[in-house]
Amino acid sequence: MPREENSRVHLAGEEEKMKSTVKKALHNPQFVLLLILAVILILIPVFAPWIAPHDPIENDYANTMISGSREYLFGTDQIGRCILSRLIWGGRTSLLIVFVVVAIVSVIGIVLGVTAGFTGGWVDMLITRFTDIVMAVPSTVFIIALVSVLGPSLRHTVLAMSLVGWTENCRVTRALVMSAKENRFVEEARLGGLSRGQVIHRVIMPNVIPYLIVNITQDIGSTLLTLSGLSLLGLSSQPPTPEWGFMLSEGRKFIQSAPWLIIYPGLVIVLHVIVFNLLGDTLRDILDPRYEKPKKKWREIKKWAQEN
């Protein structure tokens, strides 16, 4: 059938589009550099047992409040624990919680967004209104209140952040699905014999997923900041577990006498936020139809400089 043939052609076109996007990404030096940095930042905590020079919770009262030495490169805290080792091991706690929260809110948001955008009608209205109600509640206030009631712990932090963090993904997914649903190939795919699930999986989602990846990547930085803020208030990680936000909470008491206790954890948090946010921004630029290869831009700048 002609419509079946059009559907196959469209699916082949989507595969070519995806390959073209991947090719653009691999030819973008900024994206490659940021991707390498992100992978390194993730792998450091993974190999913490082999990288960290000391036990992150071992006390050394003979070497307290050292600003830096050959043995303790980043110094020690008030009870002699190695700051560098705690930063390396702290990535396991911080990044694990961040990735778990981002995964949960992404799944919830995407499922609800796809359901609302593709189904429409009263289902769309119900999900949209519920999303608006959740968004009307100040998320930070809700998280602090819920964790305070349930008790400070990483598990309660994940629960509280997951309950309110899915709304943006839901709205973005709904808008993307509604836009993709208007494509004539969706109707042709239906008439060609594809079920509703196959239409969503094979026709709509390939157009939606790349833009959702951008949103999810940028969520990593914002989630890390929220987690660090909760730990700074003492509502997340508890001692002696190494975690970047809690290290800030412990170090603020010694901000004048031992500023390195907050400088190094703060720099680590800022570095991760910047890398993942820039990675998301770069992905968004690559997916932009007006994307131009950096080499082409550089040649144009060089040509203009030679002419002038």
User: What is the average pLDDT value for the chain, to the nearest integer?
Assistant: 83
Mean pLDDT, residues 247-259: 88
Sequence ranges of the domains in the chain: 2-58+91-307
Half-sphere exposure of 160 toward its Cβ, with a 13 Å CA cutoff? Answer: 26
- Average pLDDT (90-111) is 93
Phi, psi (rounded to 5 degrees) for 12:
-65, -40
Q: What percent of the chain has pLDDT over 90?
A: 37
Task: Name residues whose C-beta falls within 8 Å of residue 268's C-beta, 6 or more positions apart in sequence.
Answer: 87, 90, 91, 244
Averaged over 51-70, what is the pLDDT? 88
Q: What are the pLDDT digits (tens) for 6-21?
A: 445 445 455 566 666 6
> What is d(CA 194, CA 186) in angstroms, rounded to the nearest whole number?
10
Inter-residue contact 45 to 53 (CB < 8 Å): no
* pLDDT, tens only, 21-42: 677 777 788 889 999 999 999 9
Fold of 2-58+91-307: MetI-like fold (1.10.3720)
